[in-house]
Copies of this chain bind each other. A is one copy, B any other.
């Protein structure tokens, strides 16, 4: 390509990036519906069309968009070429597709009711457990997209290995969560900070924080083996993010967070209950043992009252401040200024968020 076409202008990066990102979704979706590897029937085309819009769209796309933002920072430019924008958006959508696949299956295993303000996909009439296969289709779309647009790129194998490894870590974290919840329902003392950190690190932090930056690094021609520290910082950031999620589930404003939290009812290994177990005396622990994991609103209220009694809001704020300070120190120890900018950009999007 002799002439680089300018797509994203300085100063309009935010809004224009989202527009281009959405356009790229339409193109990728169209490609999935035209895939020559399968002979689609009208019914199957309609099914996938609806399934994709229902599950891949609807989120904030922060993970996907951060690939483009990070890539731009790493390249040190305000403007990406059309090709660069397309490839970054495509990897961003692969992450959104990956999350959609996880969430469809997680909702089935958690027997959840709603997601992003609408019924979970498996709860839609005529879907039911067909949603299991739909989750698999979503995962396979990532491989199809990567093959179509990245095969021939020198980093193609690296992108595949990256997605595969992050998927493995996430599925393993989910397994740990499922097994731990099962064990915890029999003995709440099985919940502790080590177990919780372990679950959160693997289940969420790698795909939500590390994967977008790793994609940007690969696009920028980097070797991921040289970025072990960056991975560690992003996993720490992702762990902090999930602690915020656990906090907001109980203390956040439902108007803001977009849902009514049910971690207490669902017997979740939440940071809050783990902290409560660490800070509580014997009598307070008994309240937890008797009331945690019950759907009865009176039991939920007892747990929440105990959280307040133990001043867990203050404990969280101290944790938040300490985490921020440590993350900033680790970021500023990185040799690359561009990488520092990427990491600070991530941190500032989540620090003291309320949803």
Kindly provide the distance from the CB of A334 to the nearest chain B CB, expressed in whole angstroms.
Answer: 24
Q: Are A133 and B43 in contact (CB under 8 A)?
A: no
- Which A residues are closer than 8 A to B by beta carbons? 35, 37-41, 43-44, 47-48, 105, 108-109, 111, 126, 129-130, 132-137, 139-140, 143-144, 147, 151, 156-157, 160-161, 164-165, 167-169, 171-176, 178-180, 182-183, 195, 198, 202
Cα A169 to Cα B38 in complex, Å, equals 6
Cα A48 to Cα B178 in complex, Å, equals 13
Q: Are A183 and B109 in contact (CB under 8 A)?
A: no
Q: Are A130 and B198 in contact (CB under 8 A)?
A: no
Q: Are A41 and B198 in contact (CB under 8 A)?
A: yes
- 8 smallest A-B Cβ distances: which pairs? A143-B164, A140-B168, A38-B172, A136-B171, A130-B178, A109-B129, A133-B174, A43-B179
Chain B residues near A132: list those with CB within 8 A: 105, 108-109, 132, 135
> Please, which residue of chain B has its CB at the minimum distance from the CB of A40?
B172
Chain B residues near A143: list those with CB within 8 A: 164-165, 167-168
Kindly provide the distance from the CB of A142 to the nearest chain B CB, expressed in whole angstroms.
Answer: 9
Stoichiometry, copies per complex: 2
Q: Are B168 and A38 in contact (CB under 8 A)?
A: yes
Chain B residues near A133: list those with CB within 8 A: 105, 109, 171, 174-175, 178
Q: Are A47 and B198 in contact (CB under 8 A)?
A: no
Chain B residues near A173: list those with CB within 8 A: 38
Cα A105 to Cα B172 in complex, Å, equals 17
Known: A140-B167, A160-B160. A44 touches B172 (CB 8 A): yes
Q: Are A164 and B140 in contact (CB under 8 A)?
A: yes
> Please, which residue of chain B has its CB at the minimum distance from the CB of A178?
B130
Chain B residues near A35: list those with CB within 8 A: 168
Q: Are A41 and B176 in contact (CB under 8 A)?
A: yes
Which listed residue (B40, B130, B147, B157) contacts A109, Cβ 8 A?
B130
Chain B residues near A147: list those with CB within 8 A: 161, 164-165
Chain B residues near A161: list those with CB within 8 A: 147, 151
> Please, which residue of chain B has its CB at the minimum distance from the CB of A141?
B168
Cα A226 to Cα B157 in complex, Å, equals 23
Q: Are B157 and A129 in contact (CB under 8 A)?
A: no
Cα A160 to Cα B182 in complex, Å, equals 35
Kindly provide the distance from the CB of A171 to the nearest chain B CB, expressed in whole angstroms.
Answer: 5
Which listed residue (B44, B126, B129, B183) contacts A176, Cβ 8 A?
B44
Cα A160 to Cα B144 in complex, Å, equals 11
For this complex, 18 residue pairs linking A to B, each with C-beta atoms less than 8 Å apart, are A37-B165, A37-B172, A38-B172, A44-B172, A44-B179, A130-B178, A132-B135, A133-B178, A139-B139, A140-B164, A140-B171, A140-B172, A143-B168, A144-B168, A147-B165, A151-B157, A157-B157, A157-B160
